[in-house]
Amino acid sequence: MKWTLIILLTGMLLFPGSVFGAENANAGEKAGIEKMFSNYRSAWLAGDEARVLKMLSDDVQIFVPGANGGKLRGINAVRGFWFPESDVRYPIRSYQISDREIYVDGDLAVVTGRSTLDWDTVEEGRVTASASSNSEFMSILKREDGEWRIFRQMYQMR
């Protein structure tokens, strides 16, 4: 699997738009990936922890800017970071994705783009702060049991 990822990413760098370009991706595969990301956004907007986590591979790794160690490994680590047990909540008000590009090779896909998030900090039922972030992201998806899931994800805050 490691070598497959290295070859996929190297090929994308050396031959963008010809070997793994979006024009070569099966339209059905691209549509499935777009639907997966639409469901992912919807789950975040609904604050549905179970749905968000279901869209991640069991061996997911998330590279988080500023996270201690820089990488979250596995569903439990991601759950603890994104959905900590606390009385404080962080509901997302808006989640937009733009400039998305999708590259597919078999059961692996790479999705790049920009995202904008707006969220609130809610303590004791009151909004105590609001924040926004803009980032560029890269997600590597893996098809598992016929479903696309986030296998690796990294983002860079802007």
- The arrangement of strands across the sheet holding 71-73 comes to 71-73, 56-63, 147-157, 126-144, 108-123, 92-105
**pLDDT above 70 (res 49):** yes
List pLDDT tens digits, range 53-69.
999 999 999 998 876 66
- The CATH number for 100's domain is 3.10.450.50
Q: Total structural domains in the chain? A: 1
Report yes or no on whether pTM surpasses 0.85: no
What is the structure's pLDDT at 27? 79
Give the chain as a DSSP string.
-HHHHHHHHHHHHHSTTTTS-GGGS-HHHHHHHHHHHHHHHHHHHHT-HHHHHHTEEEEEEEE-TT-TTSEEEHHHHHHHHHS-SSS-B--EEEEEEEEEEEEEETTEEEEEEEEEEEEEEEETTEEEEEEEEEEEEEEEEEEETTEEEEEEEEEEE-
Domain with 148, as residue range(s), is: 2-157
d(CA 127, CA 129): 6
Tens-digit pLDDT profile for residues 88-112: 989 999 999 888 899 999 999 999 9
